[in-house]
Amino acid sequence: MIRPALLLTIAAATLAAQSPFEGAISMSLTGDDGKTSELAYMVKGGKIRFDVAGRGGEKMAIIVDPAEKKSLMVMFSQKVYMEQEFGAGAEAAAEKARPAKVERTGKTETIAGYKCEHVTVTESDGSTSDVCEATGLGTFRMPQSGGRGGPPKEPGWQAALDKGGFPLKVQKGDKVTLEVTKIEKKTLDAALFAPPEGFQKFDMGGMLRKRP
């Protein structure tokens, strides 16, 4: 299961995600283990929705509402959702980490019909990532966690993105870790960004308070 702290990370990192763009963005992600997965990323009126797979392939959705400073995690198999609020402290934490060096190459590419510019990000450990950054799609943040018991964090290339910057491709060495495959500018149903009808709210705080 995705930890509640993960909701806070996503929420804090997307406070600046207000964008006139509305539509669906499909992308392919490749993890450190070499496994590739597909992510559906939707934007409407500043709200963001990620459709992801949890443990065992369980379908889940994470919805962020920066205006209301709330995040929802929807678990479809259990027909429940969890709500998390975030504030100024979370926003400040998301903003403070910056990469060691960012170099704009001037090289451009067109991916899924959008033009992007290649940016080289060099992190403090000396590793580099090539990010092809586009504009007009809103500010992007990926779900990240800090690992077991660790604080939430984001990769250096993600921190390097300008507000309003969106990665269409990320390559580390010879490995492409993220690539947008399709961008559909279209009107989305507002119901996609709210708890599904008939789903129950799961009170994580209440459950923790009941523990001895």
User: What separation in angstroms does the CA of 27 have from each of 51, 112, 161, 197?
Assistant: 11, 10, 17, 28
User: What separation in angstroms does the CA of 31 have from each of 34, 75, 174?
Assistant: 5, 23, 14
CA separation for the pair 149, 78 (Å, rounded): 26
> pLDDT tens for residues 100-146?
688 999 999 999 999 999 999 998 788 899 999 999 998 786 655 44
**Element of type H or E holding 41:** strand 36-44
> pLDDT tens for residues 7-18?
444 444 444 444
How is residue 172 written in tokens? 């580390």
DSSP assignment, residue 193?
G
Would you say residue 174 has pLDDT above 50? yes
Residue 86's pLDDT is: 72
CA separation for the pair 75, 57 (Å, rounded): 11
